Amino acid sequence: MFKMSRPVAILAILAATVPLAACGTLGGGGRNKADTRYVARDVNTLYNAAYDRLQRRQYGQAAIIFDEVERQHPYSVWARRAQLMSAFSYYAYGDHQKSIESARRFLAIHPGNRDAPYALYLIALNYYEQISDVTRDQAITRQALDALGELIRRYPTSAYADDARLKVDLVRDHLAGKEMEIGRFYQRRNQWLASIVRFRSVIDEYQTTSHAPEALMRLTESYLALGIPDEAQRAAAVLGANYPGSSWYQRAYELIQRHGASARPAAAPVEPAAPVSTSTPTS
């Protein structure tokens, strides 16, 4: 769900990049890290060697050599390009932290550069691809949401904004799923007030996600368990108004019916699309 197509990113960065005209190389593939880091090389040799490694998909080696272009030739025209190429190479290699650091360094030094949107996009992708399942901490997920939001705010018409908007919807749905997971956890332990807080957060903050219907049904359950039928009726009525044909409304309606006519929703539900399960559903 959270992996993007690598060829898209490769095309985006390589389309704006060409190797230097000179033909220098670092030599055979047996060179180690120390060879590129401490032996002085001209910019043509270093950049072309890094680009060659990138073309061969030797992303870790490419990143190290692109870093050397910047380190050994910080004032050259190609140092700026090498920064961004290093960020992409680390991303392709799977070293998310170094990729983020390289992209942030590029933005700090060249905030107005035409490739700034792509640097922000790389940062967002690195966070996005680290998103874990809803049973784990979601700090990275929130960082992904912040980075995607920054890209959309700063560069709304860029080539990367549409993909960022799509990913924002997926990330918000994921965060809503985390809230639902915690809310159901509290329900299983009869901690109804705590569960209500979580389900309310889904309705208030993530009402356009796929989890909203279940959250309203779970609110109905929790309010009834606490003996607050009026609040349960309100939650069921909102569910019926917005998702009248859903199985979640069918279940909420049946719960309200069992707890007395005074708490009955205003309208009977439409036939559900599928039989309603009496077990606790999961995301």
Report the 10 Å Cβ neighbour count for 30: 6
* CA-to-CA separations, 170 to 7, 68, 87, 137, 141, in angstroms, rounded: 21, 37, 24, 17, 10
**Rounded to whole angstroms, how far apart are CA atoms 179 and 243?**
20
**Rounded to whole angstroms, how far apart are CA atoms 254 and 270?**
12
pLDDT at 19: 52
Q: Which of 234, 229, 236, 188 minimizes the C-alpha distance to 213?
A: 236
Say if CB 239 and CB 213 are below 8 A apart: yes
pLDDT tens-digit series, residues 171-212: 999 999 999 999 999 999 999 999 999 999 999 999 999 999
CATH 1.25.40.10 in the chain, residue ranges:
6-130, 179-263
**Rounded to whole angstroms, how far apart are CA atoms 30 and 25?**
13
Rounded (5°) CA angle 149-168-99: 65
Q: Region 88-100: what's the mean pLDDT?
A: 97
Measure CA of the first residue to CA of the last residue in the chain; give whole Å: 14
pLDDT at 40: 67
Report the 10 Å Cβ neighbour count for 165: 14
pLDDT at 39: 61
- Considering only the C-alpha atoms of the chain, give the largest distance between any 2 of them, rounded to a whole number of Å: 84
pTM across the whole model: 0.77
Q: Please give the structure tokens belonging to residue 137.
A: 């901490």
pLDDT at 129: 96
Q: Class of 179-263 per CATH?
A: mainly alpha
Contacts of 188 (CB under 8 A, 6+ apart): 280
Say if CB 221 and CB 190 are below 8 A apart: no
Q: Region 47-51: what's the mean pLDDT?
A: 94
For 251, the enclosing helix (H) or strand (E) is helix 247-258
Classified by CATH at the fold level, domain 6-130 comes out as 1.25.40
* CA-to-CA separations, 13 to 29, 40, 160, 204, in angstroms, rounded: 24, 27, 12, 39
pLDDT tens-digit series, residues 244-266: 999 999 999 999 999 874 444 43
Q: Please give the structure tokens belonging to residue 50.
A: 């890094």
**Rounded to whole angstroms, how far apart are CA atoms 128 and 149?**
12
135, 189, 225, 203 alpha-carbon torsion, rounded to 10°? -20
Handedness of CA 84, 87, 92, 93 (dihedral sign): positive
